[in-house]
Structure 1
Amino acid sequence: MTVPDDVETFAEAVGPQSDEVLREMDARAAETGFPTVGPAVGGWLQQLAGLVDARRVFEFGSGFGYSAYWFARGLPADGELVLTEVDADELDDAREYLARGDFGVTTRFELGDAIETVEEYRGPFDVVLIDNEKERYVEAFEAVRGKVSAGGVVVADNMTAGPFDFEEIYRLVVEDRGTRGGMAGGVADYLDHVRAADSFETTLLPLGEGLAVSRRVG
Protein backbone atom coordinates (compact mmCIF):
# COMPACT_ATOMS: atom_id res chain seq x y z
CA MET A 1 0.00 0.00 0.00
CA THR A 2 1.22 3.47 -0.86
CA VAL A 3 -0.29 6.81 0.08
CA PRO A 4 -2.67 8.13 -2.62
CA ASP A 5 -0.93 10.37 -5.11
CA ASP A 6 -2.94 13.45 -4.17
CA VAL A 7 -2.08 13.04 -0.47
CA GLU A 8 1.59 12.53 -1.33
CA THR A 9 1.52 15.66 -3.51
CA PHE A 10 -0.17 17.61 -0.72
CA ALA A 11 2.44 16.46 1.82
CA GLU A 12 5.17 17.55 -0.58
CA ALA A 13 3.52 20.93 -1.11
CA VAL A 14 3.34 21.81 2.58
CA GLY A 15 6.78 20.41 3.44
CA PRO A 16 10.26 21.85 2.91
CA GLN A 17 10.76 22.94 -0.67
CA SER A 18 13.10 21.12 -3.04
CA ASP A 19 16.06 22.81 -4.67
CA GLU A 20 17.64 22.48 -8.11
CA VAL A 21 19.75 19.46 -7.14
CA LEU A 22 16.82 17.60 -5.62
CA ARG A 23 14.65 18.27 -8.65
CA GLU A 24 17.42 16.82 -10.80
CA MET A 25 17.61 13.76 -8.57
CA ASP A 26 13.82 13.34 -8.69
CA ALA A 27 13.92 13.50 -12.49
CA ARG A 28 16.63 10.86 -12.54
CA ALA A 29 14.60 8.57 -10.29
CA ALA A 30 11.49 9.02 -12.45
CA GLU A 31 13.40 8.34 -15.66
CA THR A 32 15.30 5.29 -14.44
CA GLY A 33 12.81 3.87 -11.93
CA PHE A 34 15.36 4.11 -9.14
CA PRO A 35 13.54 3.73 -5.79
CA THR A 36 14.08 6.87 -3.70
CA VAL A 37 11.97 7.90 -0.71
CA GLY A 38 10.57 10.84 -2.70
CA PRO A 39 10.25 14.51 -1.75
CA ALA A 40 7.39 14.12 0.75
CA VAL A 41 9.36 11.64 2.85
CA GLY A 42 12.59 13.51 2.14
CA GLY A 43 11.16 16.66 3.67
CA TRP A 44 10.12 14.66 6.69
CA LEU A 45 13.68 13.28 7.07
CA GLN A 46 15.02 16.83 7.00
CA GLN A 47 12.48 17.82 9.66
CA LEU A 48 13.32 14.76 11.77
CA ALA A 49 17.01 15.66 11.83
CA GLY A 50 16.08 19.08 13.15
CA LEU A 51 13.55 17.76 15.69
CA VAL A 52 16.11 15.52 17.39
CA ASP A 53 18.85 18.15 17.05
CA ALA A 54 20.87 15.61 15.08
CA ARG A 55 24.58 16.02 14.60
CA ARG A 56 25.46 12.56 13.29
CA VAL A 57 23.51 10.46 10.78
CA PHE A 58 24.32 6.97 9.48
CA GLU A 59 22.68 5.37 6.45
CA PHE A 60 22.47 1.66 5.69
CA GLY A 61 22.18 1.93 1.92
CA SER A 62 22.42 5.33 0.25
CA GLY A 63 22.00 4.79 -3.49
CA PHE A 64 22.98 7.98 -5.30
CA GLY A 65 22.51 10.09 -2.18
CA TYR A 66 18.86 11.17 -2.29
CA SER A 67 17.90 10.65 1.36
CA ALA A 68 21.37 11.80 2.47
CA TYR A 69 20.86 15.09 0.65
CA TRP A 70 17.63 15.71 2.59
CA PHE A 71 19.35 14.78 5.86
CA ALA A 72 22.21 17.15 5.10
CA ARG A 73 19.75 20.02 4.80
CA GLY A 74 18.67 19.36 8.39
CA LEU A 75 22.14 19.06 9.93
CA PRO A 76 24.23 21.87 11.43
CA ALA A 77 27.44 22.91 9.72
CA ASP A 78 29.49 20.85 12.17
CA GLY A 79 27.35 17.75 11.61
CA GLU A 80 28.47 14.41 10.18
CA LEU A 81 26.74 12.22 7.62
CA VAL A 82 27.86 8.69 6.74
CA LEU A 83 26.68 7.18 3.46
CA THR A 84 27.17 3.51 2.58
CA GLU A 85 26.71 1.87 -0.80
CA VAL A 86 27.87 -1.28 -2.60
CA ASP A 87 27.68 0.32 -6.06
CA ALA A 88 30.77 2.47 -6.67
CA ASP A 89 29.16 4.50 -9.47
CA GLU A 90 26.15 5.41 -7.36
CA LEU A 91 28.41 6.41 -4.49
CA ASP A 92 30.41 8.65 -6.84
CA ASP A 93 27.17 10.27 -7.97
CA ALA A 94 26.14 10.78 -4.34
CA ARG A 95 29.46 12.51 -3.68
CA GLU A 96 28.83 14.89 -6.57
CA TYR A 97 25.26 15.71 -5.55
CA LEU A 98 26.22 16.37 -1.92
CA ALA A 99 29.13 18.56 -3.02
CA ARG A 100 26.78 20.66 -5.12
CA GLY A 101 24.60 21.15 -2.05
CA ASP A 102 27.53 22.84 -0.32
CA PHE A 103 26.22 22.15 3.19
CA GLY A 104 29.51 22.30 5.03
CA VAL A 105 28.81 19.09 6.97
CA THR A 106 31.43 16.36 7.21
CA THR A 107 30.27 13.76 4.69
CA ARG A 108 31.79 10.28 4.55
CA PHE A 109 31.26 7.95 1.61
CA GLU A 110 31.80 4.27 2.44
CA LEU A 111 31.94 1.70 -0.35
CA GLY A 112 31.00 -1.81 0.77
CA ASP A 113 28.69 -3.68 3.09
CA ALA A 114 26.93 -1.23 5.43
CA ILE A 115 26.71 -3.69 8.32
CA GLU A 116 30.44 -4.26 8.19
CA THR A 117 31.05 -0.53 7.83
CA VAL A 118 29.07 0.50 10.91
CA GLU A 119 31.30 -1.74 13.04
CA GLU A 120 34.17 0.62 12.21
CA TYR A 121 32.35 3.65 13.65
CA ARG A 122 31.90 4.70 17.22
CA GLY A 123 28.61 6.19 18.32
CA PRO A 124 26.55 7.95 19.10
CA PHE A 125 24.39 8.49 16.01
CA ASP A 126 21.31 10.65 16.37
CA VAL A 127 19.52 9.35 13.29
CA VAL A 128 19.99 6.03 11.50
CA LEU A 129 18.32 5.13 8.22
CA ILE A 130 17.94 1.42 7.39
CA ASP A 131 17.35 0.91 3.67
CA ASN A 132 19.60 -1.99 2.70
CA GLU A 133 18.59 -5.60 1.93
CA LYS A 134 15.21 -6.20 3.56
CA GLU A 135 16.23 -9.66 4.77
CA ARG A 136 19.06 -8.01 6.75
CA TYR A 137 17.09 -5.27 8.47
CA VAL A 138 17.21 -7.03 11.87
CA GLU A 139 20.95 -7.56 11.45
CA ALA A 140 21.41 -3.87 10.65
CA PHE A 141 19.42 -2.80 13.69
CA GLU A 142 21.42 -5.03 16.00
CA ALA A 143 24.68 -3.73 14.53
CA VAL A 144 23.77 -0.11 15.35
CA ARG A 145 21.34 -0.16 18.29
CA GLY A 146 24.06 0.32 20.88
CA LYS A 147 25.36 3.35 18.97
CA VAL A 148 22.08 5.27 18.90
CA SER A 149 22.02 8.30 21.18
CA ALA A 150 19.39 8.67 23.92
CA GLY A 151 16.43 10.28 22.18
CA GLY A 152 17.86 9.31 18.80
CA VAL A 153 15.87 7.43 16.17
CA VAL A 154 16.24 4.51 13.79
CA VAL A 155 14.15 4.90 10.63
CA ALA A 156 13.46 1.89 8.38
CA ASP A 157 12.00 2.29 4.89
CA ASN A 158 9.63 0.01 2.91
CA MET A 159 7.41 -1.02 5.79
CA THR A 160 4.17 -1.07 3.80
CA ALA A 161 5.19 -1.28 0.15
CA GLY A 162 8.04 -1.47 -2.32
CA PRO A 163 9.37 -4.91 -3.20
CA PHE A 164 6.13 -6.58 -2.00
CA ASP A 165 2.39 -5.89 -1.76
CA PHE A 166 0.81 -4.36 1.33
CA GLU A 167 -1.57 -7.29 1.62
CA GLU A 168 1.38 -9.63 2.04
CA ILE A 169 3.01 -7.68 4.88
CA TYR A 170 -0.41 -7.15 6.51
CA ARG A 171 -1.02 -10.89 6.62
CA LEU A 172 2.38 -11.54 8.16
CA VAL A 173 2.32 -8.78 10.79
CA VAL A 174 -1.33 -8.22 11.69
CA GLU A 175 -3.00 -11.54 10.95
CA ASP A 176 0.11 -13.61 11.74
CA ARG A 177 -0.45 -16.06 8.94
CA GLY A 178 1.58 -17.19 5.99
CA THR A 179 5.13 -18.44 5.62
CA ARG A 180 7.77 -15.83 6.25
CA GLY A 181 10.58 -15.46 3.79
CA GLY A 182 12.01 -13.09 1.23
CA MET A 183 11.70 -9.32 1.47
CA ALA A 184 8.26 -9.18 3.07
CA GLY A 185 9.34 -11.73 5.64
CA GLY A 186 12.44 -9.68 6.43
CA VAL A 187 10.35 -6.57 7.01
CA ALA A 188 7.84 -8.50 9.15
CA ASP A 189 10.69 -9.90 11.23
CA TYR A 190 12.12 -6.40 11.62
CA LEU A 191 8.83 -4.95 12.82
CA ASP A 192 8.42 -7.73 15.38
CA HIS A 193 12.02 -7.25 16.48
CA VAL A 194 11.99 -3.49 17.01
CA ARG A 195 8.58 -3.54 18.69
CA ALA A 196 10.03 -5.92 21.27
CA ALA A 197 13.41 -4.19 21.58
CA ASP A 198 14.29 -2.90 25.04
CA SER A 199 14.70 0.89 25.25
CA PHE A 200 13.07 1.55 21.87
CA GLU A 201 9.57 2.79 21.10
CA THR A 202 8.30 2.24 17.55
CA THR A 203 5.58 3.90 15.49
CA LEU A 204 4.66 3.74 11.82
CA LEU A 205 4.69 6.75 9.51
CA PRO A 206 2.33 5.86 6.62
CA LEU A 207 3.98 8.15 4.08
CA GLY A 208 5.73 7.08 0.91
CA GLU A 209 6.24 3.33 1.17
CA GLY A 210 5.98 3.33 4.95
CA LEU A 211 8.56 4.19 7.58
CA ALA A 212 9.06 2.57 10.98
CA VAL A 213 10.44 5.15 13.41
CA SER A 214 12.06 3.66 16.51
CA ARG A 215 13.09 6.16 19.20
CA ARG A 216 15.61 5.24 21.87
CA VAL A 217 13.88 6.03 25.15
CA GLY A 218 16.34 4.55 27.61
Structure 2
Amino acid sequence: MVLTDEVARFVRAIGPDPDETLIEMDEYAAAEGFPHVGPEVGAFLRLLARMVDAERAFEFGSGYGYSAYWLAEALPDDGEIVLTEVDEDELELAREYMADGGYDELARYELGDALETIERYDGPFDVVLIDHQKHRYLEAFEAVREQVPVGGVVVADNAIAATPIQTEKLLAILDGESPSELTKETRGVADYLEAVTTDPDFETVAVALGEGIAVSYRTA
Protein backbone atom coordinates (compact mmCIF):
# COMPACT_ATOMS: atom_id res chain seq x y z
CA MET A 1 0.00 0.00 0.00
CA VAL A 2 1.30 3.46 -0.88
CA LEU A 3 -1.22 5.12 1.43
CA THR A 4 -0.95 5.13 5.20
CA ASP A 5 -3.47 2.90 6.94
CA GLU A 6 -5.32 5.99 8.17
CA VAL A 7 -5.67 7.52 4.71
CA ALA A 8 -6.65 4.15 3.22
CA ARG A 9 -9.42 3.91 5.81
CA PHE A 10 -10.58 7.40 4.86
CA VAL A 11 -10.67 6.48 1.17
CA ARG A 12 -12.71 3.38 1.91
CA ALA A 13 -15.05 5.31 4.21
CA ILE A 14 -16.10 7.80 1.52
CA GLY A 15 -16.11 5.30 -1.33
CA PRO A 16 -19.01 3.08 -2.41
CA ASP A 17 -19.97 0.22 -0.13
CA PRO A 18 -19.01 -3.20 -1.50
CA ASP A 19 -21.80 -5.71 -1.94
CA GLU A 20 -21.83 -9.09 -0.21
CA THR A 21 -19.91 -10.79 -3.01
CA LEU A 22 -17.14 -8.20 -2.95
CA ILE A 23 -16.90 -8.53 0.82
CA GLU A 24 -16.53 -12.29 0.36
CA MET A 25 -13.86 -11.70 -2.28
CA ASP A 26 -11.95 -9.37 0.04
CA GLU A 27 -12.13 -11.99 2.79
CA TYR A 28 -10.78 -14.60 0.37
CA ALA A 29 -7.83 -12.35 -0.52
CA ALA A 30 -7.05 -11.78 3.17
CA ALA A 31 -7.27 -15.49 4.01
CA GLU A 32 -5.19 -16.64 1.04
CA GLY A 33 -2.74 -13.74 0.93
CA PHE A 34 -3.86 -13.01 -2.61
CA PRO A 35 -2.51 -9.66 -3.92
CA HIS A 36 -5.72 -8.17 -5.34
CA VAL A 37 -6.10 -4.47 -6.15
CA GLY A 38 -8.25 -3.84 -3.08
CA PRO A 39 -11.46 -1.85 -2.64
CA GLU A 40 -9.80 1.55 -3.07
CA VAL A 41 -8.54 0.74 -6.55
CA GLY A 42 -11.63 -1.32 -7.37
CA ALA A 43 -13.94 1.60 -6.68
CA PHE A 44 -11.70 3.93 -8.69
CA LEU A 45 -11.73 1.54 -11.66
CA ARG A 46 -15.50 1.44 -11.60
CA LEU A 47 -15.67 5.22 -11.45
CA LEU A 48 -13.30 5.49 -14.42
CA ALA A 49 -15.46 3.08 -16.40
CA ARG A 50 -18.53 5.18 -15.63
CA MET A 51 -16.76 8.42 -16.57
CA VAL A 52 -15.73 7.14 -20.02
CA ASP A 53 -19.12 5.46 -20.63
CA ALA A 54 -17.32 2.17 -21.04
CA GLU A 55 -18.99 -0.59 -22.99
CA ARG A 56 -16.10 -3.04 -23.29
CA ALA A 57 -13.13 -3.81 -21.06
CA PHE A 58 -10.10 -6.07 -21.27
CA GLU A 59 -7.89 -7.29 -18.44
CA PHE A 60 -4.32 -8.51 -18.76
CA GLY A 61 -4.40 -10.74 -15.70
CA SER A 62 -7.65 -11.20 -13.80
CA GLY A 63 -6.84 -13.53 -10.92
CA TYR A 64 -10.08 -14.61 -9.30
CA GLY A 65 -12.09 -11.78 -10.85
CA TYR A 66 -11.91 -9.04 -8.24
CA SER A 67 -11.16 -6.06 -10.48
CA ALA A 68 -13.45 -7.43 -13.19
CA TYR A 69 -16.30 -7.57 -10.70
CA TRP A 70 -15.86 -3.90 -9.85
CA LEU A 71 -15.70 -2.94 -13.53
CA ALA A 72 -18.69 -5.03 -14.55
CA GLU A 73 -21.21 -2.96 -12.62
CA ALA A 74 -20.33 0.10 -14.73
CA LEU A 75 -20.93 -1.68 -18.03
CA PRO A 76 -24.25 -1.71 -19.91
CA ASP A 77 -26.35 -4.87 -20.14
CA ASP A 78 -24.94 -5.56 -23.60
CA GLY A 79 -21.37 -4.73 -22.56
CA GLU A 80 -18.41 -7.09 -22.38
CA ILE A 81 -15.42 -7.66 -20.15
CA VAL A 82 -12.66 -10.09 -21.09
CA LEU A 83 -10.95 -11.81 -18.18
CA THR A 84 -7.59 -13.49 -18.81
CA GLU A 85 -5.81 -15.81 -16.42
CA VAL A 86 -3.18 -18.56 -16.63
CA ASP A 87 -4.41 -20.34 -13.50
CA GLU A 88 -7.46 -22.48 -14.29
CA ASP A 89 -8.65 -22.67 -10.68
CA GLU A 90 -8.53 -18.90 -10.26
CA LEU A 91 -10.42 -18.35 -13.50
CA GLU A 92 -13.11 -20.81 -12.42
CA LEU A 93 -13.41 -18.97 -9.11
CA ALA A 94 -13.76 -15.71 -11.07
CA ARG A 95 -16.60 -17.29 -13.03
CA GLU A 96 -18.36 -18.24 -9.81
CA TYR A 97 -18.02 -14.78 -8.29
CA MET A 98 -19.12 -13.02 -11.48
CA ALA A 99 -22.16 -15.29 -11.64
CA ASP A 100 -22.99 -14.54 -8.00
CA GLY A 101 -23.07 -10.84 -8.85
CA GLY A 102 -25.19 -11.33 -11.96
CA TYR A 103 -22.35 -10.41 -14.34
CA ASP A 104 -21.70 -13.76 -15.97
CA GLU A 105 -23.41 -12.74 -19.22
CA LEU A 106 -21.02 -9.80 -19.57
CA ALA A 107 -17.88 -11.83 -19.01
CA ARG A 108 -15.66 -13.73 -21.40
CA TYR A 109 -13.27 -16.08 -19.62
CA GLU A 110 -9.97 -16.75 -21.36
CA LEU A 111 -7.55 -19.29 -19.93
CA GLY A 112 -3.97 -18.73 -21.04
CA ASP A 113 -1.49 -16.00 -21.89
CA ALA A 114 -3.20 -12.62 -22.10
CA LEU A 115 -0.83 -11.47 -24.83
CA GLU A 116 -1.97 -14.37 -26.98
CA THR A 117 -5.62 -13.80 -26.06
CA ILE A 118 -5.65 -10.16 -27.15
CA GLU A 119 -4.64 -11.26 -30.65
CA ARG A 120 -8.02 -13.00 -31.00
CA TYR A 121 -10.03 -9.92 -30.09
CA ASP A 122 -10.92 -6.77 -31.96
CA GLY A 123 -11.50 -3.49 -30.16
CA PRO A 124 -12.54 -1.05 -29.20
CA PHE A 125 -11.87 -1.53 -25.50
CA ASP A 126 -12.83 1.52 -23.48
CA VAL A 127 -11.03 0.35 -20.34
CA VAL A 128 -7.92 -1.82 -20.26
CA LEU A 129 -6.34 -3.05 -17.03
CA ILE A 130 -2.74 -4.27 -17.13
CA ASP A 131 -2.04 -6.35 -14.05
CA HIS A 132 -0.06 -9.42 -15.09
CA GLN A 133 3.71 -10.03 -15.24
CA LYS A 134 5.39 -6.68 -14.63
CA HIS A 135 8.20 -7.25 -17.11
CA ARG A 136 5.58 -7.67 -19.86
CA TYR A 137 3.60 -4.48 -19.21
CA LEU A 138 5.05 -2.71 -22.24
CA GLU A 139 4.23 -5.69 -24.47
CA ALA A 140 0.65 -5.54 -23.24
CA PHE A 141 0.36 -1.83 -23.98
CA GLU A 142 1.79 -2.26 -27.45
CA ALA A 143 -0.56 -5.17 -28.12
CA VAL A 144 -3.70 -3.31 -27.13
CA ARG A 145 -2.81 0.31 -27.94
CA GLU A 146 -4.59 0.48 -31.28
CA GLN A 147 -7.71 -1.04 -29.77
CA VAL A 148 -8.16 1.80 -27.27
CA PRO A 149 -10.34 4.57 -28.74
CA VAL A 150 -10.03 8.29 -28.10
CA GLY A 151 -11.62 8.76 -24.70
CA GLY A 152 -10.58 5.29 -23.53
CA VAL A 153 -8.23 4.54 -20.64
CA VAL A 154 -5.41 2.12 -19.92
CA VAL A 155 -4.69 1.44 -16.25
CA ALA A 156 -1.53 -0.29 -15.00
CA ASP A 157 -1.47 -1.65 -11.46
CA ASN A 158 1.68 -1.74 -9.29
CA ALA A 159 3.01 1.39 -10.96
CA ILE A 160 4.59 2.64 -7.72
CA ALA A 161 5.10 -0.35 -5.45
CA ALA A 162 4.86 -4.13 -5.21
CA THR A 163 6.99 -6.85 -3.67
CA PRO A 164 9.39 -7.15 -6.66
CA ILE A 165 9.34 -3.42 -7.51
CA GLN A 166 12.32 -1.38 -6.29
CA THR A 167 10.40 1.84 -5.76
CA GLU A 168 13.42 4.06 -5.04
CA LYS A 169 15.24 2.80 -8.14
CA LEU A 170 12.07 3.18 -10.20
CA LEU A 171 11.85 6.81 -9.10
CA ALA A 172 15.52 7.30 -9.93
CA ILE A 173 14.89 6.04 -13.46
CA LEU A 174 11.97 8.42 -13.85
CA ASP A 175 14.31 11.22 -12.72
CA GLY A 176 16.71 10.36 -15.53
CA GLU A 177 19.22 8.31 -13.56
CA SER A 178 20.51 4.83 -14.40
CA PRO A 179 20.54 2.73 -11.23
CA SER A 180 22.16 -0.70 -11.34
CA GLU A 181 20.98 -4.16 -10.30
CA LEU A 182 17.36 -3.70 -11.29
CA THR A 183 14.86 -6.49 -10.99
CA LYS A 184 13.20 -7.37 -14.27
CA GLU A 185 9.91 -6.22 -12.76
CA THR A 186 11.30 -2.77 -11.95
CA ARG A 187 12.78 -2.49 -15.43
CA GLY A 188 9.48 -3.60 -16.94
CA VAL A 189 7.41 -1.03 -15.08
CA ALA A 190 9.96 1.68 -15.88
CA ASP A 191 9.86 0.86 -19.58
CA TYR A 192 6.07 0.90 -19.50
CA LEU A 193 5.89 4.26 -17.76
CA GLU A 194 8.40 5.77 -20.15
CA ALA A 195 6.33 4.56 -23.10
CA VAL A 196 2.96 5.83 -21.91
CA THR A 197 4.24 9.16 -20.61
CA THR A 198 6.00 9.96 -23.89
CA ASP A 199 3.24 8.68 -26.16
CA PRO A 200 1.72 11.81 -27.78
CA ASP A 201 -1.72 10.18 -27.97
CA PHE A 202 -2.04 9.52 -24.24
CA GLU A 203 -2.08 11.64 -21.12
CA THR A 204 -0.87 9.78 -18.04
CA VAL A 205 -1.08 10.43 -14.31
CA ALA A 206 -0.12 8.35 -11.29
CA VAL A 207 -2.79 7.76 -8.67
CA ALA A 208 -1.64 6.79 -5.19
CA LEU A 209 -4.20 4.10 -4.43
CA GLY A 210 -3.41 0.50 -3.55
CA GLU A 211 0.14 -0.10 -4.74
CA GLY A 212 -0.09 2.77 -7.17
CA ILE A 213 -1.79 2.87 -10.56
CA ALA A 214 -0.86 4.68 -13.76
CA VAL A 215 -3.91 5.95 -15.64
CA SER A 216 -3.42 6.76 -19.32
CA TYR A 217 -6.26 8.55 -21.13
CA ARG A 218 -6.30 8.45 -24.94
CA THR A 219 -6.53 12.00 -26.25
CA ALA A 220 -5.91 11.50 -29.98
Which residue of 1 is the match for residue 91 of structure 2?
A: 91
Which residue of 2 is the match for residue 186 of structure 1?
A: 188
* CA deviation after TM superposition for structure 1 residue 104, in Å: 6.4
Which residue of 2 is the match for residue 22 of structure 1?
A: 22
Which residue of 2 is the match for residue 128 of structure 1?
A: 128
Work out the CA distance in 1 between the residues paired with 2:56 and 2:6: 33
Which residue of 1 is the match for residue 168 of structure 2?
A: 167
Matched, 1:56 2:47: no
Matches within 5 A, 1:66-215: 66-103=66-103, 105-163=105-163, 164-179=165-180, 180-215=182-217
Work out the CA distance in 2 between the residues paired with 1:112 and 1:185: 24
Q: Alpha carbon RMSD of aligned pairs, Å? A: 1.3
Which residue of 2 is the match for residue 47 of structure 1?
A: 47
The answer as to whether partners of 1:78 and 1:104 remain within 8 angstroms in 2 is: no
Instruction: Determine what percentage of the aligned residue pairs are the same residue.
Output: 56
Moved over 3 A (4+): none
* CA deviation after TM superposition for structure 1 residue 105, in Å: 4.7
The more displaced of 197-206 and 64-73 is 197-206
Alignment deviations for residues 152-199 of structure 1 (CA, whole Å, 9 cap, x no partner): 000000011112242232122225231344111111111001111131
SS at match of 1:176: coil
Could you tell me which runs of 5 or more consecutive residues in structure 1 were left unpaired when the two chains were aligned. Answer: none
Work out the CA distance in 2 between the residues paired with 1:173 and 1:31: 36
Work out the CA distance in 2 between the residues paired with 1:150 and 1:105: 26
Partner letter of residue 172 of structure 2? R
The more displaced of 197-206 and 59-68 is 197-206
C-alpha distance 104-133 of structure 1, shift in aligned 2 (>3 A): closer
Work out the CA distance in 1 between the residues paired with 2:9 and 2:73: 21
Work out the CA distance in 1 between the residues paired with 2:89 and 2:169: 33
* CA deviation after TM superposition for structure 1 residue 64, in Å: 0.3
The more displaced of 189-198 and 44-53 is 189-198
Q: Give the aligned length.
A: 218
What's the TM-score, normalizing by structure 2? 0.95
Which residue of 2 is the match for residue 7 of structure 1?
A: 7
